[in-house]
A = this chain, B = another copy of it.
Amino acid sequence: MVTRREQILAAAAELFARHGFHGVGIDEIGAAVGVSGPALYRHFRSKDAMLGEMLTSISETLLDGGQRRRDAAAPTDVLRELIRFQVDFALDNPSLITVQERNLGNLTDPDRRRVRALQRRYVEVWVRAIRDAWPDLDEPTARAAAHAAFGLINSTPHSRHLGRDRMATMLREMATGALAGMATGLPDSDLSTAS
């Protein structure tokens, strides 16, 4: 069963993704779920609270999924599984990904702190996995690499076109290649060693 709250959050996510938080009015969100305007205040304390709950739940989902997969995978498979997880999430929830990337700055201060903390912990899961795969990599580089990998994988809302499976495969290959390229310090490498 899908509660009214979830229905509203899904509609709001799509609108926020397309027009930005301040570019969407309460009335438009209401209209998107078939009610109009102030009815939303029966379900949320404020518009800020909608964004807060949206971003918090995304961050919790990512952190939880990341930890779960890390714990379930063989040590050599952790990074592979994290990549697969992030790719699947991004492809299945493009508007959530977009909102999380663009609208962190529109959160209330306490909400932003909460979300930031969750994000940091999720990034830490990645950093650990990266450094386990390449032990002589320093931590700041690993963190920057994790952010770059997110940028790659989360670029998916700006593409479409390719079809979910081909896209997933391609993103996994590119993320894998990106991390390998960084870790092995591609001299300036094989852009012409074609197949």
Contacts and interface: CB of A to CB of B under 8 A. Distances in A.
Interface in A119-171: 133-136, 140-141, 143-145, 147-156, 158-159, 161-162, 166-167, 170-171
Give how many copies assemble into the complex.
Answer: 2
Interface residues of A, number: 64
Query: Is chain A's binding surface mostly helix, strand, loop or mixed?
Result: helix
Given A103-B20, A106-B20, A175 B178 contact: yes
Interface string A58-77: 00000000000000000010
A113 interface: no
A194 B190 contact: no
B173 A177 contact: no
Given A182-B170, A185-B173, A189-B176, A194 B134 contact: yes
Interface string A176-194: 1111111111101111111
A10 to B, nearest CB: 19
Contact of A182 (B101, B177, B190): B177
Interface of A: 18-23, 76, 79-80, 101-103, 105-106, 133-136, 140-141, 143-145, 147-156, 158-159, 161-162, 166-167, 170-186, 188-195
